[in-house]
Amino acid sequence: MLRIRNSLTGEKEPFVPLRDGEVRMYVCGITVYDYIHVGHARMLTVFDLVQRYLRARGFAVTYVRNITDIDDKIIERAAHNGESWSQLAQRFTAAMHEDCARLGLQQPDLEPRATDFIAPIIAMTRTLIDKGYAYLAANGDVMYAVRKFAAYGRLSGKKIDDLRAGARVQVDDAKLDPLDFVLWKTAKPGEPSWPSPWGAGRPGWHIECSAMSTELLGDYFDLHGGGVDLTFPHHENEIAQSCAACGTPFVQIWMHNGFVRINDEKMSKSLGNFFTVRDVLKTLRDPEVLRLFLISSHYRGPINYSEAQLDQADETLLGLYRALKDTRDGADTDRAALGAFDAAMDDDFNTPEALAVLQGVARDLNSCKAAGDAAGTARAAGTLRAMGTMLGILQQDPEAYLKRGAGAAELADADIAALLEARRQARAARNFAESDRIRERLSAAGILLEDKPGGATEWRRA
């Protein structure tokens, strides 16, 4: 049975979905004001893996990952660039999709944008006012009154009085309590805004996730994930909003992934010590190297990012693809190894352990090949690829993979396929600027495209 560590209880709990055979999961996605970095890639990869494994275990999964497309940073960056906030948000959404495709991430089932959910956000804010959990502050903002929600601090294990003592005294006197947070922000002149019962304004960040998750998954759903830095205050605030508005529990299991560290500091935009995914991918043989690095450690702990670690992941993948070279999958699989793999994944997605089992199968594959054991070779190869599917690795043609140079600037076939898919989506959304940009990017890498009647696109190397 699958057990997942619940941040709410601090315990590994047997996972029993609220509706039989169905999993509803929500993950806090990207605020689209810049390119994603390796810290984001870890969060995205961890929850991609979670949803893949849940599907492999036979659950019908609805995976929702939102896009925050309005916020202070977006407004500031757009003003700085002299472009509109929506242009900037669209540009970085497209870039994020491209990076996700190259990282081999499956698309979430639903990817709501905050600005498409203004009505449910306003409705939930109004409910919170009606129920006495929120108030209209002197400056025109709508605030959540934290002291009205008795369970505040349960997720992060913080006591409300300690928090209050530690909170900086706010310069603005709009809040009744320093812990209160904004649900609806009144617009300053020139800022983007939407009409509301409290005047023109825009949603706060926290209410966005409560309103979208409830709207798409119901009042009470199975899994909510995000980076560990979101535990407080973001997820604490989501719980306060949703439980108060809906009068039900909000989320059964909270999952948080650890930081990516560089020299023992968290990788983050604000610290300026980040590497963008696109810069890192330029230095690698294949995007799969980054993926393997990210899943080589257990999702909850911190990981240290270094070139040495990436080199190690590169070596490991080369070894695995060498083992798979000149093999065909047999009809038969190694049930004992697959059982051990599932047991590791069932133990709170223990990927280091699952990868150790996978390495054992690769050793078995090499010995079978050396001994000329065709049946054993086919069995081990099929088992290895089946495990690779669940982890999102080892699905490429070994021959082509092994031919690729280290740090190949040249795009791999899989990258080209990912970019073509991103271009197809851009065209379907009539975002021709983005589809032209992808065409130019491919053309710069020596890839020529030919659009065929009926929508298919063929490509060749120049």
Nearest CB to Zn ion, comparing residues 209 and 239: 209
Q: x-or-dash pattern for Zn ion, window 362-401, by CB under 5 A?
A: ----------------------------------------
Nearest CB to Zn ion, comparing residues 102 and 185: 185
Q: Which helix (H) or strand (E) holds 173?
A: none
SS3 200: coil
Nearest CB to Zn ion, comparing residues 112 and 201: 112
SS3 50: helix
Nearest CB to Zn ion, comparing residues 209 and 228: 209
| CB proximity list for 319: less than 8 A, separation 6 or greater | 362
Which residues inside 124-163 make contact with Zn ion, applying CB under 5 A? none
Q: x-or-dash pattern for Zn ion, window 295-324, by CB under 5 A?
A: ------------------------------
- Could you tell me which stretch among 24-32, 72-80, 260-268, 402-410 binds Zn ion (CB under 5 A)? 24-32
The reply to whether 212 sits near Zn ion by the rule CB under 5 A is no
- Could you tell me which stretch among 25-33, 77-85, 168-176, 254-262 binds Zn ion (CB under 5 A)? 25-33
Closest separation between CB of residue 285 and Zn ion, Å?
A: 34
From 174, 171, 149, select the one nearest 160 (Cα to Cα): 149
List, in sequence order, every residue forming a beta bridge with 113; answer none if it has no partner.
67
Nearest CB to Zn ion, comparing residues 209 and 393: 209
Closest separation between CB of residue 414 and Zn ion, Å?
A: 30
Report the distance separating Cα 39 and Cα 257, nearest Å.
10
Report the distance separating Cα 184 and Cα 127, nearest Å.
13
Between strands 251-257 and 221-227, the pairing is: parallel
Closest separation between CB of residue 230 and Zn ion, Å?
A: 6
From 211, 238, 207, 209, select the one nearest 27 (Cα to Cα): 209
Nearest CB to Zn ion, comparing residues 224 and 291: 224
Using the rule CB under 5 A, which residue among 2, 28, 361, 411 binds Zn ion? 28
Nearest CB to Zn ion, comparing residues 118 and 408: 118
User: Does residue 160 come out as left (phi exceeding 0), alpha (psi in the -120 to 50 range) or beta?
Assistant: alpha
Nearest CB to Zn ion, comparing residues 129 and 209: 209
- # of chain residues touching Zn ion (CB under 5 A): 2
Closest separation between CB of residue 176 and Zn ion, Å?
A: 24
Report the distance separating Cα 236 and Cα 425, nearest Å.
35
Tell me which amino acid residue 346 is: D
Closest separation between CB of residue 342 and Zn ion, Å?
A: 30
Which residues inside 191-210 make contact with Zn ion, applying CB under 5 A? 209
Angle (deg, nearest 10), helices 374-391 and 307-324: 140
Closest separation between CB of residue 118 and Zn ion, Å?
A: 16
Closest separation between CB of residue 251 and Zn ion, Å?
A: 11
Token pair recorded at residue 342: 């599932």
Nearest CB to Zn ion, comparing residues 32 and 209: 209
Report the distance separating Cα 404 and Cα 395, nearest Å.
15
**Neighbour order of strands in the sheet with 201-203:** 134-136, 142-144, 181-186, 201-203
Contact in structure between 440 and 426 (CB atoms under 8 Å): no
Q: Residue 148 has what DSSP assignment? A: G
Closest separation between CB of residue 224 and Zn ion, Å?
A: 8
**Which residues of the shown chain bind Zn ion in the complex (CB under 5 A)?**
28, 209
